[in-house]
Structure 1
Amino acid sequence: MKLLMLGGTEFVGRAVVDAALERGWEVTVFHRGRHAPPAGVTSLLGDRTTGPEGLAALATGSWDAVVDTWSAAPSAVRDAARLLADRVARYAYVSSRSVYAWPPAAGLAEDGPLVEGSPDDGDMPYAESKRGGELAATAAFGTDRTLLVRAGLIIGPYENVGRLPWWLGRIARGGPVLAPGPADSPIQYIDVRDLAEWTLDAIAAGLSGPYNLVSPPGHTTMGELLDACVRVTGADAELRWTAPEALLAAGAEPWSELPVWLPPGEMYDAMHTADVTKALKTGLRCRPAAETVADTWAWLESLGGTAPQRPDRPGAGLSPEREAEVLAKLAASSAG
């Protein structure tokens, strides 16, 4: 297989490239040159943010498939898809479950209502941008040649958003750690390598249309995830499990200050209860949480403990000062 990866030097794109190379595929990476491409690929330089002229390096060549992870202006997906439609067999667009209209019902499958979007949009909110990207890819390639990978929360090695790396770094420092409960609360995510493997399998099988891509409900829990962080770091951390009501009363922000965690309610239903029956029937395999945590920690240690951070995403997690403040409020509330 000949694969064109739009991006391919960071996180999801990098995992897709690594998986394709391991299969012996011929990989071309189109990127801006901000990071070194993986060894073994053909590197093409360009900048999609400058409009069609930024795609000049893609004016020639043909591939069996293209994988695109773009999450900003849908017009960039439109321009690339139009340019490649006659020279690439299939287009796999890594979208997001954020494209479902809010609030998505618990257990929502791929037939749920969607947000509005347009392939001609410029900068838009994340959900509308991803939906516009879906429409752009489908308009150029048709429904039979377009695969829409609607990913949920993505974690694992190469993560440049900072969710699992923050938990690992915080727990590695040791001491009392604010742990958002309940510990047995089920969570859903997808290891970036499992996403990559499924996407390549789907391309090879000629799959098309939308697929929710996240681990099955009950794959792991918040407690199992954080316990694994304690084990792999070898830290003397003390997880202080705290009820959702107490955390919210103390002003702790779900998701942003306490990554991955959400209290019961609409947000939890949206992020941690997806129906992934369709993907499971086509071979989705999700590795154990302990493996994801251990491999992410090994990757972090190889970088000296500091993960890269996307400049367009805010850093995740409580600062030491905020954590101390929240713990103090919880202690005062308990004493009162």
Structure 2
Amino acid sequence: MRLLMLGGTGFVGSAIVAEGVRRGWTVTMFNRGVHGDPPPGVHRLRGDRTAPDGLAALAGGDWDLVVDTWDGMPRAVRDAARALRSAGHYAYVSSCSVYAMPVPAGAGEEATVVEAASDDPRDDDYARCKAGGERAATEVFGERALLLRAGLILGPGEDVGRLPWWLRRVARGGDVLAPGPADLPVQYVDVRDLAAFALDRAAEGVGGAFNVVSRPGHSTMGELLSEVVATTGSDARLRWTDPEPILAAGVEPWNDLPVWIPPGHEYRWLQELDVERAYAAGLTCRPVAGTVGDTWRWLDRVGTVPPRAGRPVRATIGLDPAREAALLAAAGRT
């Protein structure tokens, strides 16, 4: 297979490039060339897809499969898809954020998507950008467009810092504020499982939309954090605390305490999605121990979470130590 990766230096793009190389495919990356170097054996084409004539380097290329992770203005997806319409298949890595609020628990791919246009030049709304990107890919490639609506993505290379924050926090040891309940189901996908599913289905010519994330309850907050303790070898003590005092203190789920979305929260649906279509198509998700362990080894090797190759993270990830200590003291958990 001849794979063209649009981007390829960020979290998801790097994993897809690595998976293509592992399979022995011919892999080409197209990007501006300002973030990292291509792996050995991978050809790089340079260009800025947002600039006039920025896609010129793609002219005359011949690829079986294009994978695109773009999360900016939808018009850039439209323009790239048009330039590459001769390719066999176009896989667009989208997001479950495309669903229009309020989203019911157990939402599947048929749920309403936010309004978006394929020629939208704006990039100020993530959900609209991804929905517009989906529309752009589908308008050009039709049934040859694969839409991968990823949920929470974890694993080695994570450039947001959710699982890395927990690993670093637990590694420091001491009393750790563990947001309850411990049996709260967690739904996520390892980036390597996302990459494998994307390339498997695209190579088969599968089109349409898929929620690409584990089944709800693939792990729990208790299992995840216990695995973090075991992996780091820390003497940390998980102090499980009910959601009410945490929320009353103004702590923000997902950002202040990464991964955690408590029961009843307006975004709880992000960890209660229907994924049976993806599983029926062949999605497999590795155990939590593999994701936590490999992320810890990667983080220990690189030293720090890398900056995002695309749009920056708008929120600070992780709870300030002083706030954590105050919450633990108030709850009598120290």
TM-score normalised by structure 2 residue count: 0.95
Counterpart check, 1:220 vs 2:219: yes
Shift of 1:322: 2.7
Letter in structure 1 aligned against 2:135: L
Cα distance in 2 for residues equivalent to 1:269 and 1:321 = 27
* Alignment correspondent of 1:116: 115
Structure 1 residue runs without a partner (length 5+): none
* Alignment correspondent of 2:306: 308
What is the correspondence of 1:184-333 to structure 2 with a 5 Å cutoff?
A: 184-304=183-303, 306-310=304-308, 312-313=312-313, 314-331=315-332
* Alignment correspondent of 2:81: 81
Structure 1 stretch 39-48 or stretch 272-281: which is displaced more?
39-48
Identity of paired residues, percent? 60
Cα distance in 2 for residues equivalent to 1:123 and 1:186 = 32
Shift of 1:268: 4.6
Cα distance in 2 for residues equivalent to 1:321 and 1:46 = 45
Structure 2 residue runs without a partner (length 5+): none
Aligned length: 329
Q: Is the Cα contact below 8 Å between 1:11 and 1:159 reproduced in 2? A: yes
Q: Is the Cα contact below 8 Å between 2:78 and 2:136 reproduced in 1? A: yes
Letter in structure 1 aligned against 2:44: S
* Alignment correspondent of 1:23: 23
Letter in structure 2 aligned against 1:219: H
Letter in structure 2 aligned against 1:218: G
Q: Is the Cα contact below 8 Å between 2:256 and 2:316 reproduced in 1? A: no
Q: Is the Cα contact below 8 Å between 1:162 and 1:315 reproduced in 2? A: no
Q: Is the Cα contact below 8 Å between 1:13 and 1:69 reproduced in 2? A: yes
State the superposition RMSD in angstroms.
1.5
Q: Is the Cα contact below 8 Å between 1:309 and 1:315 reproduced in 2? A: no
Q: Is the Cα contact below 8 Å between 2:154 and 2:189 reproduced in 1? A: yes
TM-score normalised by structure 1 residue count: 0.95
Q: 2:257 aligns to what SS in structure 1?
A: coil
Q: Is the Cα contact below 8 Å between 1:15 and 1:196 reproduced in 2? A: yes
Cα distance in 2 for residues equivalent to 1:82 and 1:329 = 58
Q: Is the Cα contact below 8 Å between 2:49 and 2:55 reproduced in 1? A: yes
Between Structure 1 and Structure 2, the one with more helix by share is: 1
Cα distance in 2 for residues equivalent to 1:161 and 1:49 = 24
Letter in structure 1 aligned against 2:290: E
Q: Is the Cα contact below 8 Å between 2:262 and 2:268 reproduced in 1? A: no
Cα distance in 1 for residues equivalent to 2:327 and 2:70 = 36
* Alignment correspondent of 1:46: 47
Counterpart check, 1:138 vs 2:141: no
Cα distance in 2 for residues equivalent to 1:5 and 1:315 = 29
* Alignment correspondent of 1:37: 38
